[in-house]
Amino acid sequence: MLYTVNASPTSSRSLESLLRVAAKGDPILLLEDGVHAARAGAATEKLAAAALAAHPVYALGPDLKARAIAHVIEGIRVIGYDGFVELVERHTVVPWV
């Protein structure tokens, strides 16, 4: 399963609830406002660290750029649209709301 999170961790508990149910090793893709969870130094950095401890975590680069997020938590892989397509081709996608 590829879980996509598009809500900011400061306005939603989507990522938090996802971490309670996702199987270890299932990839997580942060996109749209969900990329705020990837911001280094943010108040939600512990949540991202918990995600990284059990899952590969990706953040969509164009969404980071659109939100002026330049510093990403170490371990989160920044991908472009090509990488997004590759993930979707390899996994069943579960949008997490």
pLDDT digits (tens, 9 = 90+) for 39-65: 999 888 999 999 999 999 999 999 999
Write the DSSP symbol of residue 72.
B
CA distances for 19 relative to 57, 61, 68, 69, 82, angstroms: 12, 22, 26, 23, 26
pTM of the model: 0.95
Residue of 28, 20, 19 lying closest to 57 (CA atoms): 28
CATH number reported for the structural domain that contains residue 11 in this entry: 3.40.1260.10
User: Does 97 have pLDDT greater than 80?
Assistant: no
CA–CA gap between residue 54 and residue 41 (Å, rounded): 20
Write the DSSP symbol of residue 80.
-
Which residue range(s) make up the domain with 40? Answer: 2-96
Number of folded domains that form the chain:
1
Cβ atoms of 46 and 80 closer than 8 Å: no
Average pLDDT value over all residues in the chain: 96
